[in-house]
């Protein structure tokens, strides 16, 4: 059974960078796509970006200039880095498996089928 | 970006009620729409993918329909464990996935 667990600093100062790690157990990160998603308190979910097994990435255009993702296959971890933080980046950050299913004669289905519990990041001085 | 708008933003219902939640997309997204359930302090859980396909283990009282710009999630007979917030999510644009604002289902 694949499980995801986010970890990070909890609190970060404005203008600094955030680094989060998602540790995957029960399966290899090399066999799936992975996304980071965040949710400010009381607000909607926001997709941050996706990383493929090759290491290539897609990012939300609204965050693209400040975000990076990487894979560490030796530790089975996915990392997120977000720079130039402001209070608006305060949120619960989730990692999720970004699953693609290919039905016959139809475009692929894509959905988040597994999620970590999330980690709260507060941006304050 | 594709803007997803849910209505209502909240509703009160009783156990046994039939509940319908609407999700509207700002442009045609065909059937590239998923639904998630989120309980307080928990991660979202996939309920339905591609408009109407139930994820494994999801009760059959949940159903989805729609295409283009208008979609619905229906709970046929609301159960105590269904009180939660529900989100739609489009994947027509895979480079900018977006979610609806959520519908909170509360106990009347």
Contact B34 A111 (CB under 8 A): yes
Cα dihedral across residues A59, A63, A68, A70: positive or negative: negative
The stretch B23-44 carries a mean pLDDT of: 96
Residue of B nearest to A38 (CA): B43
Q: Is the pLDDT of residue A87 over 90?
A: yes
What digits encode the pLDDT tens for the residues B41-66?
A: 999 999 999 999 999 999 999 999 99
pLDDT of residue B66: 98
The stretch B17-46 carries a mean pLDDT of: 97
**Cβ neighbours for B20, distance < 8 A, ≥ 6 positions apart:** B72, B73, B74, B75
The 10 Å CB-count burial string (b at 16+, else e) for A44-68 is: bbbbbbbbeeeeeebbbeebeebbb
Q: Is the pLDDT of residue B68 over 90?
A: yes
Q: Which two tokens stand for residue B42?
A: 């928990």
Contact B99 A47 (CB under 8 A): yes
Q: Is the pLDDT of residue A6 over 90?
A: yes
pLDDT of residue B69: 98
Q: Is the pLDDT of residue B82 over 90?
A: yes
Work out the percent of chain A whose per-residue pLDDT is above 90. 94
Give chain B's contact residues with A (Cβ, < 8 Å).
1, 32, 34, 36, 42-46, 49-50, 53, 55, 87, 89, 91, 94-102
Contact A115 B45 (CB under 8 A): yes
């Amino acid at each position: 059974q694949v499980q995801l667990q986010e970890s990070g600093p909890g609190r970060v100062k404005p203008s600094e960078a955030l680094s989060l790690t998602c540790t995957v157990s029960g399966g290899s990160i090399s066999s799936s796509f992975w996304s980071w998603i965040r949710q400010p308190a009381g607000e909607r979910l926001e997709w941050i970006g996706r990383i493929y097994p090759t290491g290539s990435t897609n990012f939300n255009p609204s965050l693209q200039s400040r975000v990076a993702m990487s894979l560490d296959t030796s530790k089975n971890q996915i990392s997120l880095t977000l720079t130039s933080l402001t209070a608006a980046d305060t949120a619960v950050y989730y990692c999720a498996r970004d699953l693609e299913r290919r039905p016959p004669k139809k475009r692929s289905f894509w959905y988040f089928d597994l999620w970590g519990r999330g980690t709260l990041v507060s941006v304050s001085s | 970006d594709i803007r997803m708008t849910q209505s209502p933003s909240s509703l009160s219902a009783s156990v046994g009620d039939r509940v319908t939640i609407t999700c509207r997309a700002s442009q045609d997204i065909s059937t590239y729409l998923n639904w998630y359930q989120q309980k307080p302090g928990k991660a979202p859980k996939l309920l339905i993918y591609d408009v109407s396909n139930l994820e494994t283990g999801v009760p059959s009282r949940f159903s989805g329909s729609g295409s283009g710009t208008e979609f619905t999630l229906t709970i046929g007979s609301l159960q105590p464990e269904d009180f939660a917030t529900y989100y739609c999510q489009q994947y027509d644009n895979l480079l900018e996935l977006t979610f609806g604002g959520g519908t909170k289902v509360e106990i009347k």
